[in-house]
Amino acid sequence: MARLPARRALLAAVLGVSWQQRLLGHHVVPAAWRRRRFSAGSRAEDSSPVTPMLKHLMFKIKSTGPITVAEYMREVLTNPVKGYYMHHDMLGERGDFVTSPEISQIFGEVFNQLGSLLNKCDISIHLVEVSPKLSEIQAFTLTGGKIQPELDVTSPVYMKGISKAGIPIFWYRELQDVPQGTSFYLAHEFFDALPIHKFQRTEKGWREVLIDIDPEAPDQLRFVLAPSTTPATELFIQRKEVRDHVEVCPDAGILIQRLACRIQEDGGAALIADYGHNGNKTDTFRSFRSHELHDALTGPGTADLTADVDFSYLRTMTQGRVATLGPLNQHEFLKNMGIDVRLQVLLQNSSDKAMHKHLLQGYDMLMNPKKMGDRFHFFALLPHQRLAHSDQKVNLRHSRSLSATVAGFGELVWK
C-alpha cells in the first residue's frame, strides 16, 4: 500500500449557551512546558502565516470549541479542499520529507528478490491512496502514464492501469474496498500519518490535549488540556499505563484489525515499515517542512504532520488472530536481507567515484543507528501456521527459532 493519510471522518460537537464557560475552563499548556513536552518544532517562528487551513480551523474552533489533535491532523492533512496531502508533492528533495527508497537504491533492491517469484504468479497490484497528487506520481512511475479513470461510478476503483511489467494496477481510497483474497500488504510510512489522540497525566487524572485559539495572538493556535475527561480518555487510556504522556491512534487499530482478519481468513502477510516504538515513547507528534522540523501549529496545511507508530498497540489490536514479528529496527532488518552483500556488489561493479560516494552515503543514512537505522522499524503480520510450532499462537520480537524462517526477521545464513 502506498503511504496513506488519515481517513476523513465527522466529529460530533456539542453546542450550547454554556460553550464560552466551558472554553474558559480549559487549562493552557505553559509555553516552557510545551517546549519540553511537545515536539512541535525545534526553532522559533517569527510569524504565523494565516493560511486558508488556519482560517478554516479557527472558524471550526470558534463554532464548536477546542478540537482534538486527531481532528486537527485529519483536517490539515486530508481536508478535500485545503488538505496538505491533497495538493502537495511532498516527496523528494523539493518536498518536505524523503523516504528510504529515495535515499538509496539498495533499499528497493533488497526487495527485488521477490521479482523472480512474482513473475510466475497471476497477480495484481492494489494501491490505497487518497492523495490525488501522489496517485498521479504513482501512476506515472509504475505505468509510464498508461492509466485510465474508472467510469463505473459504483466501483470503488477510481483509477486503473497496467504496469511496465504488464501487471494490472488499481487505485482505491479505502482499504475495505480492496477485493479480498490471498494478498501481501506493504505499508511503508503509512501509519505515521494517521491521526492521533494525545493525553497527559495530571494531578486530577488523565486529560486529553486539545488545540485552541491563542487569545493573546488571535491568528495563532495553542495546546490546551481538557478541563475534565473526554470520551477518548475513558476509551483509550489503560489502567496499567505507566507513562505520563500517551499518544493513541484509533484509526491504526481499526486498520490492523482489518488486516489481521483478512490474513486469518485468506492467508498472505503484511509488512509495516515505519518510524515507531514498542510502547515506551511519549510525545512524538511533530511537523516537517523542507526537511526541517517545523512548529506543528504554525501555517497548517503547508507542512507534513506525523507521529511515531506504537507497535505494541498494533500487536494488541490484532487480538491474536495472526502472529506478529517485530518491531525490528531497520539496521537489523536490512542486514538480514543482505544489504551488506548487495552494497559490495554495487561498489565492485562501478568505478565511478561519485557513485561510490552516493552509495556509501545512502547506506550510512539507512543503517547508521544515529540516523534511520534505529528509528525506522519493520513489523510483520502472518498466519499462525506460517511459523514453526503452529499449534501455538505467538507474538514475538527476537525469537530466532521462529523468525528465522521469515526473510528479514532472522539472521541471514549463506549456504
pLDDT tier, 100 (very low <50, low <70, confident <90, very high otherwise) = low
Residue pLDDT, tens place only, 320-351: 999 999 999 999 999 999 999 999 999 999 99
Inside any domain, residue 180: yes
CB 261 within 8 A of CB 320: no
Nearest to 326 by CA among 287, 363, 272: 272
Say if 226 falls within a structural domain: no
Judged against a pLDDT cut of 50, whether residue 261 lies above it is answered with yes
pTM for this structure?
Answer: 0.83
If DSSP codes are grouped into helix, strand and coil, which group holds residue 13?
coil
Task: Give me the pLDDT at residue 35, please.
Answer: 41
Q: Which residues pair with 289 in a beta bridge?
A: 292
- Asked if residue 260 belongs to a domain, the reply is yes
Q: Taking residues 75-86, report their average pLDDT.
A: 92
Q: Give me the chain's average pLDDT, please.
A: 83
pLDDT band at 119 (very low <50, low <70, confident <90, very high): low
Q: pLDDT value at position 2?
A: 39
Window from 30-34, 60-64, 205-209, 388-392 with minimum mean pLDDT: 30-34
- Asked whether residue 279 is domain-assigned, the answer is yes
Looking at the domain assignment, is residue 97 inside a domain?
Answer: yes
Q: Say which residue the cell 488556519 belongs to.
A: 54
Which one is predicted more confidently, 275 or 114? Answer: 275
Q: Under a CB-based contact definition with an 8 Å cutoff, are residues 41 and 166 in contact?
A: no
Q: Do the Cβ atoms of 375 and 256 come closer than 8 Å?
A: no
Strand arrangement of the beta sheet that strand 159-162 belongs to: 125-128, 168-172, 159-162, 147-149
Residue 105 lies in a domain: yes
Per the structure, the count of domains in the chain is 1
Mean pLDDT confidence for 4-32: 36
Is residue 240 in some structural domain?
Answer: no
Give backbone dihedrals phi and psi of 42, rounded to 5 degrees, phi first: -110, -5
Query: What percentage of residues in the chain have a pLDDT greater than 70?
Result: 76
Q: How far apart are CA 217 and CA 317, in angstroms?
A: 41
Q: From 355, 352, 376, select the one nearest 366 (Cα to Cα).
A: 376
Residue 34 has pLDDT above 80, yes or no: no
What burial class does residue 318 get, using C-beta atoms within 10 Å of its C-beta: 0-12 exposed, 13-18 middle, 19+ buried? buried
- Which residue spans within 98-240 are E strands per DSSP? 125-128, 147-149, 159-162, 168-172, 183-188, 197-202, 205-213, 221-225
Of the chain, the percentage scoring pLDDT greater than 90 comes to 64
Q: What is the pLDDT of residue 55?
A: 96
Check pLDDT > 50 for residue 372. Answer: yes
Confidence (pLDDT) at 108: 64
In a domain, 406, yes or no: no
Is 81 a residue whose pLDDT tops 60?
A: yes
Residue 57 domain boundaries: 10-16+49-195+248-321
* 3 state SS of 24: helix
Residue 394, SS3? coil
Q: Using CA atoms, how far apart are residues 366 and 169, in angstroms rounded to an integer?
A: 29
